[in-house]
Amino acid sequence: MTTTNVKAYGTEAADAALKEMVIPRREVLAKDVEIEILYCGVCHSDLHMARNDWGASAYPVVVGHEIVGKVISTGSSVTKCKAGDTVAVGCMVDSCRTCSPCKEDLEQYCQQGFTGTYNSPDKHLNLQTYGGYSEKIVVDEHFVLTVPSNLDLAAVAPVLCAGITTWSPLRHWKVKKGDKVAVVGLGGLGHMALKLANALGAEVTLFSRSASKTEEAKSLGAHEVVISTDEAQMQKVQGKFSLIIDTVPYVHDLNPYIGTLQTDGTLVLVGYLGPQTDILNTFPLVWSRKSIAGSLIGGIAETQELLNFCGEHNIVSEIEIIKMQDINQAYERMLKSDVRYRFVIDMASLKG
Ligand code: NAP
Ligand code: ZN
Ligand code: ZN
């Protein structure tokens, strides 16, 4: 298959810095959309993958799955968009389309495994997929989303992962006006969760370790902030929440949060992936029919639903725009929870 070389930023090893490299993009097939990438959000998952935190990174790794861009060209049977349109691509670029989760618009739970925007076996080239830290991408139209015209193009990028990852549990657990919802961790995912839960009419609480984020959290949609290391503050919210969305990226003790769930309440883990070390006390789970659940991004139809909701409610991410060349410093700041609240790369910086 014919390929075109494009500029990208990636890494050759878990302990190596990201640097400029060249990657191939496939020719535009009948159902493909060729996109010039304008902006790409920086997700904590990008950092996990670049540094092999999940043990599955195949190098070279080119990450980035919060992509907003302009259509350059389309294949002969594409109907969803045309050259010049503003479009977006999130965490997936393919799936089997035939299994029951795929048929139910839950491509993220494809029984064959969805094709991730990065670090997945590429179905067309004998390579891993390469993500949005690059000039261009070629994606099947099913996985291309439409961006409402009123939204800022850089600030809407994080909706494609941070947004949908928190929206999907809010919708699955049917959050409605007046429900008491809590969010753990105020980073990229956490700040979108505050905005979205607030827009759905929930009474929203943030659990954070960072007292310095209190006022900002309130401006983002939190009605209350609980400092999770303060025992007295934690006591005050015992038995309060019907849903807690936990975005913390590293091992942490879940037991204190379970105490703050109502009977029938659910703690949804979206941040950390892997074994927990603290022993889970099942007593409160059994005694009050509480659940611990997980949730992975969201399907394509649900992501479009969210983009449309963001258009109607004028919701975008709080962002700090960076140049591609600043990505290594951005990762260091992300590790210190020093991001307010999402870095977005201006991809014009890669072209210069
Ligand atoms: P982020 O911007 O770095 O935010 C994470 C927040 O968690 C921090 O701002 C901090 O908030 C809190 N935190 C960090 N380290 C902590 C620790 N050791 N203990 C307790 N709290 C801690 O990251 P993100 O981009 O939102 O991503 C969060 C996680 O979600 C990552 O692990 C990412 O891989 C994962 N993710 C999952 C999915 C999915 O589909 N399930 C999708 C996207 C991302 P405070 O300062 O407020 O405490
Ligand atoms: Zn992500
Ligand atoms: Zn499938």
Tell me the per-residue pLDDT of 306-351, one tens digit each, with 9 for 90 and over. Answer: 999 999 999 999 999 999 999 999 999 999 999 999 999 999 999 8
pLDDT at 7 over 80: yes
Residue pLDDT, tens place only, 79-120: 999 999 999 999 999 999 999 999 999 999 999 999 999 999
pLDDT digits (tens, 9 = 90+) for 174-218: 999 999 999 999 999 999 999 999 999 999 999 999 899 999 999
Q: In testing the pocket of ligand 1, which one of 247, 257, 276, 333 has its CB within 8 Å of the most ligand atoms? A: 247
Does the beta carbon of 49 lie inside 6 Å of ligand 1?
A: no
User: Does any ligand 1 atom lie closer than 6 A to the CB of residue 334?
Assistant: yes
* pLDDT of 352 higher than 80: no
Rounded to the nearest angstrom, the distance between the alpha carbon of 105 and the centre of ligand 2 is 19
Q: State the pLDDT at residue 276.
A: 86
Confidence class for position 277, pLDDT limits 50, 70, 90? confident
Percent of the chain with pLDDT over 90: 97
Per-residue model confidence (pLDDT) at position 254: 97
**Using a 6 Å cutoff on CB, does residue 168 contact ligand 1?**
no
The number of C-alpha atoms within 13 Å of 20 and in the hemisphere containing its C-beta is 13
Q: How much of the chain, in percent, has pLDDT values that exceed 70?
A: 100
* Nearest CA residue ID for atom 12, ligand 1: 185
Which of 194, 334, 337, 338 to mutate for ligand 1's pocket (most ligand atoms within 8 Å of CB)? 337
Q: What is the best residue among 91, 159, 206, 248 to mutate for testing ligand 1's pocket, by most ligand atoms within 8 Å of CB?
A: 248
- The rounded Å distance from CA 230 to ligand 1 centre is 20
Amino acid 331: pLDDT: 98
- pTM of the entire predicted model: 0.97
- Nearest CA residue ID for atom 5, ligand 1: 187
Of all protein residues, whose CA lies closest to atom 14 belonging to ligand 1?
248
With a cut of 80, say whether residue 303 has pLDDT above it: yes
Going by CA atoms, what residue is nearest to atom 29 of ligand 1?
Answer: 271
pLDDT of residue 151 exceeding 90: yes
pLDDT band of residue 278 (cuts 50, 70, 90) is confident
